Amino acid sequence: MEVIPDPSTVHFHLPGDLSVLVHREYNDFVKELINKFPHEKEGILKFYGICWKIFNSLNSLELKSLEEPLYLFGQFFKKPLECLTLAYYLPQNAGDIARKFIKDQQLLSFIDAECFIVSTVNALQTPMINASMVLCDRHFGGINYPVGGVGGIAVSLANGLVEKGSEIRYRANVTNVILEHGKAVGVRLSNGKEFFAKTVISNATRWDTFGKLVKIEEFPEEEKNFQKNYVKAPSFLSIHLGVKASVLPAGTDCHHFLLEDDWSNLENPYGSIFLSIPTVLDPSLAPEGHHILHIFTTAGIEDWEGLPRKDYEQKKELVANEIIRRLEKKLFPGLKDSIVLKEVGSPKTHRRFLARNDGTYGPMPRGKPKGLLAMPFNTTSIDGLYCVGDSCFPGQGVIAVAFSGVMCAHRVAADIDIEQRSPILDTGLLGVLRWFRTLA
């Protein structure tokens, strides 16, 4: 796939006129951050240094299922130090580690914003392993955009699956996981068609999988535990704009994060604004002389439900115009008048088109989590049913869900005897992992 390297990952525009550009090169990024906070040089190097230690440990392992004991013990013998490093940081959060080395409140708030764009929660609630994955991966190899738009990634993945002999059914809405004597044996679609298999893997959120697709009387303990520890993160209000190119100053970066005056608005609905301008990297995505802006901000479904059609449309217009006004004031004077196309999506749009319960971004810890300890892996308490995606370890974001997919594939391969397995060790390890989750 032909790609375009992004020279920066995000340009932060924060309270107190703090502006930080996250450069592709790690050294350029820390240099810029140290320039803004020279008195915290040591703390900055230590915090991001630990992120690298975790990232390098993860990177040194052959990533497979953490629920498969033969692989796990094998990795432990090959890379004991790296495994112990990961085990040590597994129950810890980024905010606690940042506070060990950094005292400046504004810098700690910046680290909150760094975590928020990954997890929609502040650093104290973001597991250190998640934070490290994202804060380092953006420099390790950098971010690269497929020419012609990010849709190219999905197309390539789909082509790869078909080449390997898979069949993909589009517009196939699963309404039920079919159970036989408590075992998952297939799925039923909304058109009534049924498909049977040795294994069923749900990529729907756990709220959808266990709240809608699996029809059982008794909610499994594991899922009760998950819902005790995690709530649904809010959804988003999304605005897609086509604008005249002249409104963007020369050298505008592709990605921006905006929080104007008050740090306490970071996690509030409509508090902070995310913006991507893909045409900065690939002008072919828009007609000549134009740019595409994708703007989004967190929003809860409860704000949008039960409105008559007219009020709903008016509300979308009102909220979108306010977000555009804020961007106009802070970044792009004349933005409103430069618009040639505008599409607004609410949390209801997210719910409908992404098939996600309440349009949620994913799981968000109910309180202060013990790192990633409470996150369920891929197996479920229903025989033959596995879950994958952002409500499984290690959580939200493309890197995390890709990892969860690899983990799940390995565990399933072991369970259907394509990979080596030991039933006795399996029972032991899965029991221990379940017990660990009850501690979180």
Ligand X SMILES: Cc1cc2nc3c(=O)[nH]c(=O)nc-3n(C[C@H](O)[C@H](O)[C@H](O)COP(=O)(O)OP(=O)(O)OC[C@H]3O[C@@H](n4cnc5c(N)ncnc54)[C@H](O)[C@@H]3O)c2cc1C
Quick one: 243 or 392, whose CB is closer to ligand X? 392
CA end-to-end span of the chain: 42
Residue 239 φ/ψ, nearest 5 degrees: -125, 125
Buried b (16+ CB within 10 A) or exposed e, 388-402: bbbbbbbbbbebbbe
Quick one: 75 or 404, whose CB is closer to ligand X? 404
Count CB atoms within 10 A of the CB of residue 132: 24
Count CB atoms within 10 A of the CB of residue 161: 12
Residue 406 beta carbon to ligand X: minimum distance, rounded to whole angstroms: 13
Applying the rule CB under 6 A, the residues between 174 and 233 that interact with ligand X are 174, 203-204, 208
Report the residue from 21, 245, 355, 425 that binds ligand X according to the rule CB under 6 A: 355
What whole-number distance in Å separates Cα of residue 214 and Cα of residue 175? 9
Cα→Cα distances 395→212, 304, 370, Å? 21, 26, 14
Residue type, 143: I
User: Which residue's entry shows tokens 């729907």?
Assistant: 204
Binding track, positions 335-354, relative to ligand X; x by CB under 6 A = -------------------x
397 binds ligand X (CB under 6 A): yes
Quick one: 144 or 422, whose CB is closer to ligand X? 144
Give me the sign of the Cα torsion angle 368, 236, 137, 41.
Answer: negative
Site size for ligand X (CB under 6 A)? 20
Quick one: 379 or 396, whose CB is closer to ligand X? 396
Report the residue from 177, 396, 414, 426 that binds ligand X according to the rule CB under 6 A: 396
Residue 58 beta carbon to ligand X: minimum distance, rounded to whole angstroms: 15
Helix pair 41-60, 105-119: axis angle to 10 deg: 30
Report the residue from 110, 226, 263, 296 that binds ligand X according to the rule CB under 6 A: 296
Residue 151 beta carbon to ligand X: minimum distance, rounded to whole angstroms: 13
Residue 208 beta carbon to ligand X: minimum distance, rounded to whole angstroms: 6
Residue 277 beta carbon to ligand X: minimum distance, rounded to whole angstroms: 13
Instruction: Pull the structure tokens for residue 105.
Output: 């409140």
Is 156 in contact with 1 (CB distance < 8 Å)?
A: yes
- What distance lies between CA 38 and its chain's CA centroid? 31
Quick one: 109 or 391, whose CB is closer to ligand X? 391
DSSP label at 395? -
Cα→Cα distances 358→308, 351, 393, Å? 18, 5, 21
356 binds ligand X (CB under 6 A): yes
122 binds ligand X (CB under 6 A): no
Identify which range of 26-34, 47-55, 123-131, 396-404 contacts ligand X by CB under 6 A.
Answer: 396-404
Identify which range of 25-33, 82-90, 95-103, 355-363 contacts ligand X by CB under 6 A.
Answer: 355-363
Residue 398 beta carbon to ligand X: minimum distance, rounded to whole angstroms: 4
Instruction: Tell me which residues touch ligand X (CB under 6 A).
Output: 172-174, 203-204, 208, 236, 296, 354-356, 361-362, 389-390, 396-399, 401
